[in-house]
Amino acid sequence: MKKIVLIAVLGMFLSLTACSGDDDNSNPEVSQVEIRIRNASTVEYTDIIVNTSGGENTYGDLSSDVTSEYKTFDFAYRYAYIELKINGEIFTIQPIDYVGETKLTPGKYTYEIGAGASTNQFTRLSLKFIED
Protein backbone atom coordinates (compact mmCIF):
# COMPACT_ATOMS: atom_id res chain seq x y z
CA MET A 1 0.00 0.00 0.00
CA LYS A 2 2.86 2.39 0.87
CA LYS A 3 4.41 1.74 -2.54
CA ILE A 4 1.15 2.66 -4.32
CA VAL A 5 0.83 5.92 -2.37
CA LEU A 6 4.50 6.73 -3.00
CA ILE A 7 4.12 6.06 -6.73
CA ALA A 8 0.94 8.19 -6.88
CA VAL A 9 2.61 11.09 -5.07
CA LEU A 10 5.70 10.81 -7.26
CA GLY A 11 3.51 10.73 -10.38
CA MET A 12 1.63 13.89 -9.29
CA PHE A 13 4.94 15.64 -8.50
CA LEU A 14 6.39 14.78 -11.92
CA SER A 15 3.17 15.87 -13.61
CA LEU A 16 3.21 19.24 -11.82
CA THR A 17 6.89 19.74 -12.58
CA ALA A 18 6.35 19.02 -16.28
CA CYS A 19 3.41 21.43 -16.49
CA SER A 20 5.24 24.26 -14.78
CA GLY A 21 7.63 24.48 -17.74
CA ASP A 22 4.72 25.52 -19.98
CA ASP A 23 4.17 28.69 -17.93
CA ASP A 24 7.83 29.69 -17.94
CA ASN A 25 8.23 32.09 -20.83
CA SER A 26 11.97 32.48 -21.30
CA ASN A 27 11.65 34.76 -24.34
CA PRO A 28 12.52 38.27 -23.04
CA GLU A 29 10.42 39.94 -25.77
CA VAL A 30 7.34 38.21 -24.41
CA SER A 31 8.13 38.10 -20.69
CA GLN A 32 8.84 41.80 -20.15
CA VAL A 33 7.15 45.14 -20.44
CA GLU A 34 8.33 47.60 -23.09
CA ILE A 35 7.57 51.30 -22.64
CA ARG A 36 8.23 54.26 -24.87
CA ILE A 37 7.74 57.97 -24.17
CA ARG A 38 5.80 60.36 -26.38
CA ASN A 39 6.32 64.10 -25.95
CA ALA A 40 2.79 65.50 -26.32
CA SER A 41 3.84 69.08 -25.59
CA THR A 42 5.14 72.07 -27.51
CA VAL A 43 8.47 72.11 -25.62
CA GLU A 44 11.56 69.90 -25.65
CA TYR A 45 12.09 67.41 -22.82
CA THR A 46 15.68 66.63 -21.79
CA ASP A 47 17.29 64.08 -19.47
CA ILE A 48 14.16 61.90 -19.26
CA ILE A 49 14.19 59.20 -16.57
CA VAL A 50 11.43 56.63 -16.00
CA ASN A 51 11.31 54.37 -12.93
CA THR A 52 8.50 51.79 -12.78
CA SER A 53 9.66 49.96 -9.63
CA GLY A 54 10.45 47.18 -12.11
CA GLY A 55 13.51 49.02 -13.33
CA GLU A 56 14.77 52.40 -14.40
CA ASN A 57 15.62 53.65 -17.88
CA THR A 58 16.88 56.89 -19.33
CA TYR A 59 15.35 58.15 -22.56
CA GLY A 60 17.61 61.12 -23.26
CA ASP A 61 15.97 64.10 -24.97
CA LEU A 62 12.70 64.31 -26.93
CA SER A 63 11.60 67.19 -29.10
CA SER A 64 7.96 68.25 -29.26
CA ASP A 65 5.62 65.64 -30.78
CA VAL A 66 8.34 62.95 -30.95
CA THR A 67 8.15 59.36 -29.65
CA SER A 68 11.15 57.49 -28.21
CA GLU A 69 12.25 53.94 -28.79
CA TYR A 70 10.92 51.24 -26.46
CA LYS A 71 12.86 50.44 -23.30
CA THR A 72 12.46 47.19 -21.37
CA PHE A 73 11.29 46.86 -17.76
CA ASP A 74 10.85 43.75 -15.62
CA PHE A 75 7.40 45.08 -14.75
CA ALA A 76 5.46 48.33 -14.71
CA TYR A 77 2.13 49.92 -13.89
CA ARG A 78 -0.16 52.32 -15.78
CA TYR A 79 1.89 55.17 -14.30
CA ALA A 80 5.44 55.60 -13.06
CA TYR A 81 7.96 57.98 -11.57
CA ILE A 82 9.02 60.28 -14.41
CA GLU A 83 11.60 63.02 -14.22
CA LEU A 84 12.62 65.34 -17.03
CA LYS A 85 13.86 68.83 -17.67
CA ILE A 86 12.22 71.68 -19.54
CA ASN A 87 14.56 74.60 -20.22
CA GLY A 88 16.93 73.23 -17.56
CA GLU A 89 14.24 73.02 -14.82
CA ILE A 90 13.33 69.62 -13.33
CA PHE A 91 9.71 68.45 -13.47
CA THR A 92 8.39 65.24 -11.95
CA ILE A 93 5.48 62.84 -11.95
CA GLN A 94 5.74 61.26 -8.49
CA PRO A 95 3.48 58.29 -7.66
CA ILE A 96 2.72 58.01 -3.97
CA ASP A 97 2.36 54.24 -4.15
CA TYR A 98 0.96 51.45 -6.32
CA VAL A 99 -1.57 50.10 -3.79
CA GLY A 100 -4.49 48.55 -5.66
CA GLU A 101 -2.67 48.70 -8.99
CA THR A 102 -2.10 45.64 -11.14
CA LYS A 103 1.18 45.03 -12.93
CA LEU A 104 0.99 45.36 -16.69
CA THR A 105 1.06 42.17 -18.69
CA PRO A 106 4.10 41.74 -20.93
CA GLY A 107 3.71 43.88 -24.03
CA LYS A 108 4.29 47.33 -25.53
CA TYR A 109 2.99 50.54 -24.00
CA THR A 110 3.39 54.32 -24.36
CA TYR A 111 3.52 56.95 -21.63
CA GLU A 112 2.34 60.11 -23.36
CA ILE A 113 3.61 63.08 -21.37
CA GLY A 114 2.08 66.51 -21.69
CA ALA A 115 3.25 69.77 -20.15
CA GLY A 116 0.84 72.45 -18.97
CA ALA A 117 1.51 76.09 -18.18
CA SER A 118 2.19 75.54 -14.47
CA THR A 119 5.71 76.17 -13.21
CA ASN A 120 5.23 73.81 -10.25
CA GLN A 121 7.65 70.87 -10.30
CA PHE A 122 4.93 68.33 -9.47
CA THR A 123 1.84 69.64 -11.32
CA ARG A 124 3.13 70.75 -14.71
CA LEU A 125 3.35 67.28 -16.29
CA SER A 126 0.45 65.01 -17.22
CA LEU A 127 0.59 61.35 -18.14
CA LYS A 128 -1.67 59.45 -20.54
CA PHE A 129 -1.24 55.68 -20.63
CA ILE A 130 -1.60 53.98 -24.04
CA GLU A 131 -1.60 50.25 -24.85
CA ASP A 132 0.21 49.76 -28.15
pLDDT tens, 9-38?
Answer: 434 433 433 443 434 333 445 579 999 999
Query: What confidence score (pLDDT) does residue 5 get?
Result: 38
CATH fold label, 28-131: Immunoglobulin-like (2.60.40)
What's the pTM?
0.76
Q: Cα separation of 7 and 47, whole Å?
A: 61
pLDDT tens, 43-102?
Answer: 999 999 999 999 999 999 999 999 999 999 999 999 999 999 999 999 999 999 999 999
Q: Cα separation of 107 and 118, whole Å?
A: 33
The partner residues of 111 in beta bridges, in order of sequence, read 37, 129
Q: Cα separation of 102 and 99, whole Å?
A: 9
- E-only strand ranges, 52-96: 56-62, 71-73, 81-86, 89-93
Q: Cα separation of 93 and 116, whole Å?
A: 13
Helix (H, G, I), strand (E, B) or coil at 10: helix
Instruction: Please state the rounded mean pLDDT for residues 114-126.
Output: 96
Give how far Cα 81 sits from Cα of 54, 58, 91, 92, Å.
11, 12, 11, 7
Strands 89-93 and 81-86, by their bridges, are: antiparallel
In terms of Cα–Cα distance, which of 55, 53, 59 is closest to 96?
53
